[in-house]
């Protein structure tokens, strides 16, 4: 039976793009076999599936091939890269929100690419902002690309990085996601169709869909990570989502150290020695307290 990739899910239908060797190259509209419901499994956009063609030109999803990853929000399979778009100006850089996104990406087990947008809006005396942010996060181990949809800065680097990947785009509100994708990747997306609104704001795209790039990559056009509320994350898991904490945390005096006040805490020591950025540690403390407060409420 032929294999393919689910590129869209809408109203109980799954739209499967056949593999190169399939008898047809056109997208096949499929229903899923009832057995999935009995097993409590649903096909997801991004799933590589086995399907069969029916007499009416449609198809049936018969099997789901093993997944590399699975996200709950947005519901998508096999995404390995999260591209976090944050503007350097208009709106100004928000490191606390960036760190919150990074915590969720680490917890989901995806690779993160930080994409700093609107570099063209920086005045000459503000160039250091991009340099400082890029340096801080590269030292932690994250990939950072500085971009501008106006000048084309970072265009080729970003396109090359997306090749062959299923990528989820998310980030700061008002960052100009559609403008970036249109200018850099030759897409024709309506600005309202891929809103970067955080929270439960209006979003015209109510379904998940993969947009194919010419280099074999796919971008997930989704409502994004709609709720960054830490409800899916245990407070004891938080420090492991700050990747630069991990080597120091293993050397702490007390097992289960919260890295807030315990004697012999190596994370606090590393922060005091400048090995961990002050802003990152401050955000860790804020998130820890936020999670504790939510736990009390629920």
Q: Is 252 annotated as a binding residue?
A: yes
- pLDDT at residue 196 in the model: 38
Q: Is 217 annotated as a binding residue?
A: no
pLDDT band at 38 (very low <50, low <70, confident <90, very high): confident
Query: How far is Cα 287 from Cα 235, in angstroms, rounded to an integer?
Result: 9
pLDDT tens by residue, 204-237: 445 788 988 888 899 986 655 545 667 678 899 9
pLDDT tens by residue, 114-147: 999 988 888 877 778 889 999 999 999 999 999 9
Could you tell me which of 189, 116, 186, 196 has the C-alpha nearest to residue 148? Answer: 116
Query: How far is Cα 98 from Cα 92, in angstroms, rounded to an integer?
Result: 12
The helix-helix angle for 177-185 and 155-162 (nearest 10°) equals 90
The helix-helix angle for 278-297 and 95-108 (nearest 10°) equals 70
Q: Is 118 annotated as a binding residue?
A: yes
Domains annotated on the chain, with CATH = 3-66 (2.40.50.140), 71-221 (3.40.50.300), 235-297 (1.10.40.50)
Q: Is 264 annotated as a binding residue?
A: no
Could you tell me which of 47, 51, 56 has the C-alpha nearest to residue 32? Answer: 51
More confident residue, 260 or 23: 260
Q: Is 183 annotated as a binding residue?
A: no
Q: Is 179 annotated as a binding residue?
A: yes
Q: Which ranges of 115-227 does DSSP label H, i.e. alpha helix?
A: 127-140, 155-162, 177-185
pLDDT tens by residue, 146-178: 998 889 899 899 999 999 999 998 877 777 777
Q: Is 285 annotated as a binding residue?
A: no
Q: Is 259 annotated as a binding residue?
A: yes
Q: Is 241 annotated as a binding residue?
A: no
Q: Is 171 annotated as a binding residue?
A: yes
- pLDDT at residue 298 in the model: 57
Q: Is 265 annotated as a binding residue?
A: yes
Instruction: Tell me the CA distances in angstroms from 146 to 106, 152, 200, 252, one per residue in order.
Output: 21, 10, 28, 36
Q: Is 178 annotated as a binding residue?
A: yes
pTM of the model: 0.86
Q: Is 123 annotated as a binding residue?
A: no
């Amino acid at each position: 039976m032929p294999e393919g990739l689910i590129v869209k899910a809408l109203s109980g239908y799954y739209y499967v793009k056949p593999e190169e060797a399939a008898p047809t190259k056109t997208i096949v509209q499929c229903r899923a076999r009832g057995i999935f419901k009995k097993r409590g499994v649903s096909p997801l956009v991004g799933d590589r599936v086995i399907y069969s063609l029916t007499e009416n030109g449609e198809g049936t999803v018969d099997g789901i091939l093993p997944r590399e990853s699975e996200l709950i929000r947005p519901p998508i399979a096999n995404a390995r890269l999260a591209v976090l778009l944050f503007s350097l100006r208009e709106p100004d850089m928000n490191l606390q929100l960036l760190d919150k996104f990074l915590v969720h990406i680490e917890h989901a087990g995806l690779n993160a690419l930080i994409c700093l947008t609107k570099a063209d809006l920086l005045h000459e005396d503000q160039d250091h902002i991009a340099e400082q942010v890029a340096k801080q996060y590269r030292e932690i181990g994250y990939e950072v690309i500085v971009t501008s949809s106006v000048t084309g800065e970072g265009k080729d680097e970003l396109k090359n990085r997306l090749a062959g990947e299923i990528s989820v785009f998310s980030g700061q509100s008002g960052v100009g996601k559609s403008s970036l994708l249109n200018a850099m990747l030759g897409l024709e997306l309506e600005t309202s169709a891929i809103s970067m609104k955080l929270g439960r704001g209006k979003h015209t795209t109510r379904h998940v869909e993969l947009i194919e790039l010419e280099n074999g990559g796919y971008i997930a056009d989704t409502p994004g990570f709609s709720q960054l509320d830490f409800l899916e994350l245990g407070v004891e898991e938080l420090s492991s989502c700050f990747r630069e904490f991990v080597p120091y945390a293993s050397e702490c005096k007390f097992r289960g150290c919260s890295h807030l006040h315990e004697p012999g805490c190596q994370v606090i020591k590393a922060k005091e020695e400048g090995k961990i950025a002050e802003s990152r540690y401050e955000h860790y403390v804020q998130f820890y307290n936020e999670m504790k407060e939510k736990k009390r409420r629920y």
